[in-house]
Amino acid sequence: MFERRIPEWLRHAPAPSVRGFAALAGFEAITRGILISVFPVAMYNALGDAAVISSVYFVIGILSLISGLMVPFLNRYVPRRWIYGIGASGFIIGAACAMVGTPEFIVLSLTLNSVSTVVCFVCFNAYVLDYIARIELGKCETARMFYSAAGWTAGPLLGVLLWGWWPPAPFIIAGLSAAMMVGMFMYMRLGNGKLITRAPRSAPNPMRFLGRFLQQPRLIAGWVFAVIRSCGWWAYVVYLPIFATQAGLGQQLGGALLSVTNGALFLSPFMLRWMQARSIRYSVRAGFLACALLFFAAGCGFLHPAAVVALLFCASFFLILLDVCAGLPFLMAVKPSERTEMSAVYSSYRDVSGIATPGAAWLILLVAPISGIFAAAGVASFLAWRLAGHLHPRLGASRMKPA
């Protein structure tokens, strides 16, 4: 008689690995990458005013910030796997809302997309800190970016081209990719992460772990790096397409440049080697200094629009270098017993930048043209360069093992 055997991959969950997390990030990159250049143009066509668009992004940023900070609190009552699943499902629902095409549903779709991004980011980082060794975090970040390169490279240009051909098309692709992301998560069977027992009882509310965060200067510095880096991406992703449209350079230029920029993600393994040959401190400082000079030059207001676009395009490559290295100071300082809570705090950098950048842009546009936003990003990058000078020179280096 033949015995019926259950397949090995069903009896034993696959061990979470760097490659598995990178694949999960790859599907998210497709989901978000194909819409990242569509939303600014769609919002500009629907609302017709850069200042109004900034105010909408400002409100959405506040909602996303609250959502991210509430994840650890909800995790006390809802398993992490369900929180991640609900967050990923928000991408699917948001894509369906955008296909309606009215301004109200476009704003609703952007809101769901932003909230889903931060919820999935909190859970993803908590899983990474659970299953990936500290010394492997740099390798995991590089693999995540390498697997995400295709989505972030082809997505922006493909998104605006499909949107010009048939507006629902990019949202259909984003919804299908989000469904595949949910399927990948179920295949990995991450569950609720590793259980870490600690002496103090769990934080009763979000304000409690914010207090713990504020007591650790290394975490604060790492979070500030992430916020300023994200503000630079906001200036490039959201306001460059609007600047190009106003200057008569075309609606597809922003998406095309973003696709070319994201092609540099394939260079992330070489950036990692360059960083390892020096130090995290040197890499972070070099990235922020280059961004400061290029953004400020682009925002001086005396250059031809094509020259402004060229300077911002160059700055985006250093933003990718910061994507490789600028998040490591925070991740390497997190205690194992505070993974979920500090992942929520770290994820708030997206929403804080999503509040700070549109809020500052709203004020800048009252007294200056849109190029003033680029100059402000340059000033912020310079401040981050100064702060990075306080990082430890040997941060991230392998420790000597006893004989």
Digitized pLDDT (tens) for each residue of the chain, 403 residues in all: 444 554 544 445 556 667 778 888 888 889 988 888 888 888 877 777 777 887 888 888 888 878 877 887 787 788 888 888 888 999 999 999 988 878 888 889 999 998 998 888 888 877 887 777 666 666 777 777 778 877 877 878 888 888 888 888 999 999 999 999 988 888 877 766 554 434 344 444 555 667 777 777 778 888 888 899 989 988 888 888 888 878 777 767 777 787 787 777 677 778 878 887 777 888 889 999 999 999 999 988 788 888 999 999 999 889 988 887 777 777 777 776 666 667 667 777 877 888 888 888 888 888 888 889 999 999 999 999 998 888 776 665 544 344 3
| C-alpha closest to that of 266 among 156, 146, 155 | 146
- Contact, 237 vs 155, CB < 8 A? no
- Phi first, then psi, for residue 166 (nearest 5°) are -155, 110
Euclidean distance between CA atoms 97 and 67, whole angstroms: 20
Determine the pLDDT at residue 73.
Answer: 79
Question: How many other C-beta atoms are found inside a 10 Å radius of the C-beta of residue 15?
Answer: 8
Q: Is residue 304 classed exposed, middle or buried when 0-12, 13-18 and 19+ CB atoms within 10 A define those classes?
A: exposed
CA 27 to chain CA centroid, nearest Å: 14
Instruction: Report the C-alpha gap between 56 and 358 in whole angstroms.
Output: 8
Residue 296 has phi, psi (to 5 degrees) of -65, -40
> What share of residues in the chain are helix, strand, coil (percent, to 5)?
80, 0, 20
CB 333 within 8 A of CB 222: yes
Coil, strand or helix: which one is 120? Answer: helix
Contact, 397 vs 281, CB < 8 A?
Answer: no
Tokens of 260: 């070319």
Residue 118 pLDDT: 85
Q: Is 261 within 8 Å of 317 (Cβ atoms)? A: yes
| 14-192+204-388 topology per CATH | Growth Hormone; Chain: A; (1.20.1250)
Q: What is the dihedral of CA 139, 145, 149, 151, to 10 degrees?
A: 130
pTM score, whole prediction: 0.69
Q: Determine contact, residues 285/385, Cβ cutoff 8 Å.
A: yes
Q: What is the predicted pLDDT for the residue at 134? A: 63
Pull the structure tokens for residue 43. Answer: 């919002």
Contact status, residue 227 vs residue 369, Cβ threshold 8 Å? no
Nearest to 382 by CA among 311, 317, 292: 292
Please give the pLDDT value at position 305.
87
Q: How far apart are CA 43 and CA 47, in angstroms?
A: 6
Residue 326's pLDDT is what?
A: 75
Residues 6+ apart with CB under 8 A from 76: 202
Contact residues for 313 (Cβ-Cβ < 8 A; gap 6+)? 257, 260, 261
Q: Six-digit token pair at 99?
A: 């296909």
Angle between helices 280-298 and 305-325 (to 10 degrees): 160
